[in-house]
Structure 1
Amino acid sequence: MKFLVLWSIELSLVSAETARAVGRMPDYGARLEEQGKVLARYHVVGAHGGAWIYEVDSNEELERLLARAPVYNVARYTVHALADMEAPPDR
């Protein structure tokens, strides 16, 4: 199962602790990429957050990975399920 997860920092919660949490996100993302759970990570230009593509076995696994993210308590998440687009069969 693939998901596009857009996360953005809740600016009203910005603090030194938030800055440290954001600083830990690259290491967290790199570990998930090594495990094959994150396929790609992007910065969203002009925004405070990112766009990550997850590949997981279940909704529960995705929720667990999001909850372990350093920014979980200070970010808003928008999650979109992704479906592969396959060419229609020739008729």
Structure 2
Amino acid sequence: MKFLVMWRMELALLSSEMAAAVARMPRYAGPLEERGSVIARYHLVGQHGGAWIYDVGSNEELERLLAMSPVYNFARYEVHPLAEMPDQVS
């Protein structure tokens, strides 16, 4: 199951803890990319946040991975399920 997860930082919560959480995001992402749970990561240009594409086995797995994210308590999330589009329509 693939999901587009867009997360944006809540700047009202700006603190040294938030900055430290953002700095930990690359270390969080590395193992997820290596095992294929995250297949793409993008920065949202002109915003504070990112767009990640997760490939997970269940909604529960996605929920667990999001909750483990260093920025979980500082970000607002939008989760969009993705579906494959056929190359040809018959």
TM range (shorter): over 0.9
The residue number in structure 1 matching 2:32 is: 32
RMSD: 0.9
TM-score, normalising length: structure 2: 0.96
The residue number in structure 2 matching 1:65 is: 65
d(CA) in 1 for partners of 2:66 and 2:89? Answer: 37
Figure out how many residues of one structure are paired with residues of the other and give that number. 90
d(CA) in 2 for partners of 1:52 and 1:89? Answer: 28
State the 1:87 CA deviation. 2.1
d(CA) in 1 for partners of 2:7 and 2:29? Answer: 13
- For structure 1, the residue ranges without an aligned partner over 5 or more in a row are none
The residue number in structure 2 matching 1:21 is: 21
State the 1:89 CA deviation. 5.2
What percentage of aligned pairs have identical amino acids? 66
The residue number in structure 1 matching 2:52 is: 52
Task: Assess, with a 3 A threshold, how the Cα gap between structure 1 residues 89 and 8 changes in structure 2: closer, same or farther.
Answer: closer
State the 1:88 CA deviation. 2.9
TM-score, normalising length: structure 1: 0.95
